[in-house]
Copies of this chain bind each other. A is one copy, B any other.
Amino acid sequence: MTDSTPLSVAGVAALRAQGTPVPLGIAPATSSDMFKSAHCYTKPKAKRWDHILSLEAKSRKVSTLKGAAHYLKNPGIISLGGGLPSPEYFPIEQISAKFPTPPGFSPEETRESGTVMTASKGDVKNGNSIYGVMWVMGADWCWADLEVALNYGQSTGAPQLLRFVTEHTEVNLLVHCHGHGHGLMAQIIHNPPYADWHCCLNAGSTYGWDTALRLLTERGDYILMEEYTFSSAAETALPLGVKLASIKMDEQGLLPESMDEVLSNWDEAARGARKPYVLYTIATGQNPTGATQSGERRRAIYKVAQKHDVYIVEDEPYYFLQMQPYTGADGTTPPPPASHDEFIKSLIPSYLSMDVDGRVLRLESFSKVVTPGSRVGWAVGCEQIIERFMRNSEVSSQHPSGIAQIILFKLLDEHWGHAGYLDWLINMRMQYTDRRNMLVGACEKSLPTEIAHWVAPAAGMFHWIEVDWQKHPGLASGKTRDAIEEEIFQAAIQNGVLVSRGSWFTADKNTPEEKMFFRATFAAASADQIEEAIKRFGDALRLQFGLA
């Protein structure tokens, strides 16, 4: 592979064959650099971010004991150094899991024709797996995959899984450039982000965001957030003394003009804080509004970020829940993407894919597309920031569970590979399209359109329903907007349906809301339940608003 060829799914095998082998043994040092294609190094390096690192981040040093591990490279050395337990004392001899085999992705098909993958203590010795890779130390030390997974690891995560997510990131990144419509292959190659991006596995994106806040902010700082945002993301920031500056949204989410205005007119004295330099955004299928920023919108926001030197944290759990276009209650869903290439081209480019400066930290998650119970996610960003992430994990979560990592590795890499994973993601796209259609169809059928309005979401799990509270009869008897929202919420519960109140999600709790929203998710309930639940919500609204 020459250095001018961007990585494709088909190219992964060749890259692996000629690239760095997965490193050896228990808790070896790894980095994405081992797994990136030569193409990446044709790009310029990221900017430096020293000026936004917190005092905590700046003062954290390399772990003394991890630093000593490099002496283990000496041939024949016997280590009485690190306190890693001997694998013979791990009382788990073997772990097996049954996975769907593409294209039979349903639970029924999996039960019938799924594939059982096994990790055991003897695998590597017996040549069955690459997870642990033989590591001869002295005469008789060697490690099998489960032995490695059950021991301590590095805070980058297991090398085998890190390789998978690094490749996954690179493939998508480059194909995104296609999607920009810049045309020629040559332009694609020379219009990329930057050279020194890295991935680091973590204990889930909630942990990733907590870490980002601790590394990038000080008590008293403001960060920029969508005016309606994931309440837990806001609640992560607030106890750290970080305040939220709210940016206006439209149906595509974050408004670049509003962001520019907030930053251009920032009054340090009035706010009692320096100008914000971190933006938190959920660009795709935003929680709670379901809004998805178009590629054009993202480029406009990126420009504003450059203008004001803002660092962007894109939290993208719903990225692969981009759905087929909504064609109305009686419309026909367009057929699924015909190829991996078509699928990847259909995805809106990420901030990361347009990040010439290295000013984007992308929080990636398996929670919405594989399983939240794994508590394995990863972050992608420039080497400087990712290195600080690792240093933080070393003295905190250490690394995601080795048991969860080896099961994900067995599924994603050994069983599915990149092609099978893309098949799965296409399957998820179609499943969520059906669910979205059911919910939006139910709304069209059962909600009173005199007072309820919505836009069918293009991605994610959430449907955002606006209610004309100004038409509520309680207004005449002096009820406040907030009281009316609470009344509608309780009326829905009385009628047997739980939806989320829009006000739970406001970033700025001090400015009164003009509008009123309720959030409904189509992620979990069955088709029948969705239909029934929306009917109940519609009935509650009619009763509340005195409609026939």
Task: Please determine whether B498 and A79 come into contact, CB atoms closer than 8 angstroms.
Answer: yes
| In the bound complex, CA of A424 to CA of B89 (Å) | 10
Whether A93 lies near B88 (C-beta < 8 A) is: no
Interface string of A355-384 (1 = CB under 8 A from B): 000000000000111111111100000000
In the complex the two chains form, is B206's CB within 8 Å of A397's CB?
Answer: yes
Minimum CB–CB distance for A527 against chain B, Å: 11
A97 interface residue per 8 A CB criterion: yes
**Complex: how many Å from CA A68 to CA B231?**
12
Tally A residues with Cβ within 8 Å of B: 121
Contact flags A235-267 to B (C-beta < 8 A → 1, else 0) = 110111100000000000000000000000000
* A66 CB, min distance to chain B CBs, angstroms: 8
A90 contacts across to B, CB distance below 8 A: 370-371, 373
Partner of A76, one of B76, B95, B204, B496: B496
Copy count, this protein chain: 2
Tell me, yes or no, whether A533 is within 8 Å of chain B by CB.
Answer: yes
Q: B100 and A93: CB pair below 8 A?
A: yes
Residue numbers in B under 8 Å from A169 (CB-CB): none
The residues in A between 472 and 518 inclusive whose CB is less than 8 angstroms from any CB of B are 493, 496-500, 504
B residues near A370, Cβ cutoff 8 Å: 90-91
CB neighbours (8 Å) of A120 from chain B are 98
Chain A contacts with B in 405-458, Cβ cutoff 8 A: 407, 411, 424, 428, 431, 439
What's the least CB distance linking A63 to chain B, in Å?
6
Task: Scan A111-155; emit 1 where CB is below 8 A from any B CB, else 0.
Answer: 100101000110000000000000000111100000001111100
A526 CB–B CB distance under 8 Å: yes
Residue A191, interface by CB 8 Å? no
Q: Tell me whether A78 and B500 are in contact in the complex, defined as CB-CB below 8 angstroms, given that A231-B64, A373-B149, A403-B401 are known contacts.
A: no
Chain B residues whose CB sits within 8 angstroms of the CB of A210 once the complex forms: 395-396
17 A-B contact pairs sorted by A residue (CB < 8 Å)? A74-B496, A78-B529, A79-B498, A80-B522, A85-B368, A90-B370, A93-B114, A95-B96, A96-B97, A140-B526, A150-B372, A151-B373, A152-B372, A204-B397, A235-B395, A236-B395, A375-B401
Chain A interface residues (CB < 8 Å from chain B)? 55-57, 59-61, 63-65, 68, 71-72, 74, 76-86, 88-100, 105-107, 110-111, 114, 116, 120-121, 138-141, 149-153, 203-204, 206-207, 210, 219, 231-232, 235-236, 238-241, 287, 367-376, 394-404, 407, 411, 424, 428, 431, 439, 461-462, 493, 496-500, 504, 520-526, 528-530, 532-534, 536-537
